[in-house]
Structure 1
Amino acid sequence: MAAGSWLDEKPNGGVVLAEAVARVPFTKEEAEILSGGIPRGHKNLTKATADLVRAGWMTKGRSGWEITEEGLKATVVFTTVETLAEALSSGAQAPAGTALPEPPTAKQAAKAPAKKAAAKKPAAKKASAKATPANEADNQASQESGVEHKEQPASVALAGDFGTTLGAVENWDPSHNNVQMSLDAKQGTWKLTADLPAGQYSYKAVVNGSWDENYGAFGVNDGANHEFAHAGGPVTFHYDHTTKDVLRSEV
């Protein structure tokens, strides 16, 4: 974020959190899934970003997240994880007169590694489906309920390595009926309940039947796969088209 601030870049929260996890993967304890269906580490990261906002080092807006001038100065003074954490805890700020860090040079920018696209199971791209009368009715019901929700897509599928367990011909196929999620018009979320044997699973949310629009961990478009360890039994997946994220709850 500090480097991006010189380019007036404001990444969304999902991108920031996904990048943080990519750089420093969760430990076994942090990867533990909490009752809300999210890893413990995700909750800790979210709390940490709230602390950064309270310290005045970062802002969260509709257009994205951005590091402030005070936040940039903090990166100059508090150069280790330990000193940064201590400053956040104590409320310490960079001393008056602290200069902003130097912007990255063109040479440094050229050396920056290109972001690698997250791997996913290859799948034949399917033309985006038009909204069906049923989904149009669901969207209308959402409006009439008085609860404001983002306009919903025509379909959302849960494509993953458990597709055949649900009855699909092959895994990672978003076109099979058994991996389609159902829209709860009142809640504004999509749901799918599956009875899965114990194991480690990966999946993504695929919108409108095409891999052109898919969301992985933290709701990042074409991001890393959602992954979770399951003890076995029914589990309900909840997709929110506002956050583009998928949460889980065990039935």
Structure 2
Amino acid sequence: MSVRDTTNRRLKEVLDIMAAGQWAEEKPNGGEVLAEAVARIPFTSEESELLSGGIPRGHKNLTKATAELVRAGWMTKGRSGWEITEDGLKATVAFKDVASFVDALANGTPVPADTPLPSKPSAKRKPAKKPTARTVTKATTASATETSTQPAAEAPAGEAAVVLGDQPKSVALAGDFGTILGALVNWDPGHDGVQMRLDAASGTWKLTVDLPAGRYSYKAVVNGSWDENYGAFGVLDGANHEFTHDGGPVTFHYDHATKDVLRE
């Protein structure tokens, strides 16, 4: 089975997951939807290969492919989340198997007008979560809580700030590189060296650090408490972000709308 074939299968799962979530009357976080699709159809060894930005090849392919659902009019994307349209709901009924789904998507086949809406699922399935590697002492957690009152950075004088919406008081990147940055222990969200700063112009949180060559893991910890932390795909309490670094400066970007962290 080719990479495109597995991507198509996950793309159908994305729409099915969103259709099931529609009954809860919520706009799901895009990262949670993608994570659930990958949990249902795991990455192959080729898709698990990390690209230069530290993102698995399969993740990049699937994220890019979701644009096809938007073009088809089956879903919309916004800062408040992803939302399936009425046509998207009907598409899950009209194109039930992967082959007909892919064909309709590729050829722009409209959903038949007489297609009914899907019936209510018997139970809502929660996104799957992978085990995470996290070691934090009680003292560390207390330290993190003390820093949760750190104010968000303000826009520099003379710069026009965008409407940021609700932003947390602090965001930290807790990971296995904490001691490199001066922390006493790794995975400490309270250390000054792992605190991100809000860029009021873009509405994202940033942190630039200099790391030696190696493989690293981390998560975004919000408001200094592990009660709210985000891993890969922006999933709450999800799997650790992981990346291989050649050595030198690396900049992390956290977007509180998607709860995901990107690197450059």
Q: TM-score, normalised by structure 1?
A: 0.78
The 1:69/1:140 distance shift into structure 2, 3 A limit, reads closer
Partner of 2:21: 4
Question: What secondary structure, in the 3-state scheme, does the structure 1 residue paired with 2:207 have?
Answer: strand
Q: 2:37 matched to 1:24?
A: no
Aligned residues: 240
In 2, are the aligned partners of 1:157 and 1:206 still within 8 Å (CA)?
yes
In 2, are the aligned partners of 1:217 and 1:225 still within 8 Å (CA)?
yes
CA positional deviation for 1:235: 2.6
| CA offsets 1:163-211 (integer angstroms, 9 cap, x no match) | 2333322221112233233444555432131313223x22101123221
Separation (CA, whole Å) in 2 of partners of 1:245 and 1:116: 15
Separation (CA, whole Å) in 2 of partners of 1:242 and 1:2: 21
Alignment of 1:23-62 (within 5 A): 23-35=40-52, 38-62=55-79
Q: 127, 144, 147: which is aligned to 1:129?
A: 147
Alignment of 1:110-129 (within 5 A): 119-123=132-136, 124=138, 125-126=141-142, 127=145, 129=147
In 2, are the aligned partners of 1:197 and 1:232 still within 8 Å (CA)?
yes
- The share of aligned pairs that are identical, in percent, is 62
Partner of 1:64: 81
Separation (CA, whole Å) in 1 of partners of 2:22 and 2:174: 35
The 1:29/1:114 distance shift into structure 2, 3 A limit, reads closer
Q: 165, 170, 194: which is aligned to 2:210?
A: 194
Equivalent AA in structure 2 for residue 165 of structure 1? I
CA positional deviation for 1:88: 0.7
Deviates more, 1:36-45 or 1:72-81: 36-45
Equivalent AA in structure 2 for residue 80 of structure 1? D
In 2, are the aligned partners of 1:182 and 1:192 still within 8 Å (CA)?
no
Partner of 1:89: 106
Question: What secondary structure, in the 3-state scheme, does the structure 1 residue paired with 2:154 have?
Answer: helix
Question: What secondary structure, in the 3-state scheme, does the structure 2 residue paired with 1:139 have?
Answer: coil
Separation (CA, whole Å) in 1 of partners of 2:196 and 2:80: 29
Q: 2:92 matched to 1:79?
A: no
Separation (CA, whole Å) in 2 of partners of 1:222 and 1:17: 15
Alignment of 1:219-230 (within 5 A): 219-230=234-245
In 1, are the aligned partners of 2:70 and 2:76 still within 8 Å (CA)?
yes
Deviates more, 1:50-59 or 1:31-40: 31-40
In 2, are the aligned partners of 1:156 and 1:190 still within 8 Å (CA)?
no
Equivalent AA in structure 2 for residue 23 of structure 1? R
In 2, are the aligned partners of 1:184 and 1:191 still within 8 Å (CA)?
no
CA positional deviation for 1:53: 1.8
Question: What secondary structure, in the 3-state scheme, does the structure 2 residue paired with 1:30 have?
Answer: coil
Q: Unmatched 5+ residue regions in structure 1?
A: none
Q: TM-score, normalised by structure 2?
A: 0.74
The 1:113/1:67 distance shift into structure 2, 3 A limit, reads closer
Separation (CA, whole Å) in 1 of partners of 2:120 and 2:106: 28
Separation (CA, whole Å) in 2 of partners of 1:42 and 1:114: 16
Partner of 2:8: none
The 1:196/1:47 distance shift into structure 2, 3 A limit, reads same
Q: 255, 259, 264: which is aligned to 1:240?
A: 255
CA positional deviation for 1:89: 0.8
